[in-house]
Amino acid sequence: MNVFSHIISPLKLFIVEIGDLSYFSLRFFKEVFKKPYEFQEFLKQCFYIGNLSLFLVTVTGLIIGLVFTLQTRPTLQEFGAVSMIPAMVGISIIREIGPIITGLICAGKVGSGIGAEIGSMRVTEQIDAMEVSGTNPFKYLVITRILATTMMLPVLVMYSDFIAIFGSYLVESTKGQVSFTLYFNQVFNSLEFSDLIPATIKSFFFGFAISLVGCFKGYYCSKGTEGVGVAANSAVVYSSVFLFIIDFIAVLITNIFVQ
């Protein structure tokens, strides 16, 4: 009986939390079109989420391109297929590696930051003070951050894709003496709209999931300062899991329509 209780109790908590998260997302869609629109706060969050994540995304994208090419080049060289590296790198990074890695990086940085920031405001009663003063904290804190992350993540993904492909070019220009123009021409010639559009669309869903979970965990934070750490940590874990689920669903749908 104890074994079943250890399994059933966390499962019940998980189902309840999914229900609360669903209600939270419905509240977002209900209030996002209502006035007032916190446009200044939205632009501020776009700056924080986009600009302050730029360095980490740049370093990550560059390393992905370098390592991916260094790992695959010897194998392709055995089969005399080194000329296929630009096409292989471009398709794999733009279709899958770029969006999911950038999403995970942002889940760790942006998701945890949102959870900790809103969670600290909850435990220090700043959200309650906003409600007393007549400000809608949900519109000011939640809606602006969700919209900003949803809009900025695709931009970060496209930037990360370019940096990763550029990192791959650096390896090829050193090992194979390939020109910049030739390398990128081969990359773009191998790409189709069926590669770009699904990757861009799922990036919007990645951004929405990351910010939604971060805001949810922070907005309903409890247990004082300890709860802030729990909110930040669980925001990263939950959003990372949601990213893989969304990615799996996106790949299934893409395969159905492409075939």
Q: What is the pLDDT of residue 4?
A: 60
Cβ-in-10-Å burial (0-12, 13-18, 19+) of 213 comes to buried
Q: What is the pLDDT of residue 58?
A: 94
Structural contact between residues 120 and 228, judged by C-beta atoms closer than 8 angstroms: yes
Q: What is the pLDDT of residue 144?
A: 93
Q: What is the pLDDT of residue 100?
A: 94
Cα angle for residues 244, 245, 248 (degrees, 5° grid) = 85
Q: What is the pLDDT of residue 159?
A: 94
Q: What is the pLDDT of residue 21?
A: 87
Tens digit of pLDDT at every position of the chain (259 positions)? 455 666 666 677 778 888 888 999 998 999 888 887 888 989 999 998 888 889 999 999 999 999 998 888 888 888 877 888 888 889 999 988 999 999 999 998 899 999 999 988 888 888 888 888 878 888 988 999 999 999 999 999 999 999 999 999 998 888 777 888 888 898 988 888 888 888 999 999 999 999 999 999 998 887 777 788 888 888 899 999 999 999 999 989 888 876 5
- Selection from 235, 237, 229, 30 nearest residue 138 by Cα: 30
Q: Where are the domains of the chain?
A: 38-258
Q: What is the pLDDT of residue 143?
A: 93
Instruction: Tell me 32's DSSP state.
Output: T
Q: What is the pLDDT of residue 259?
A: 58
Query: What letter represents residue 201's amino acid?
Result: I
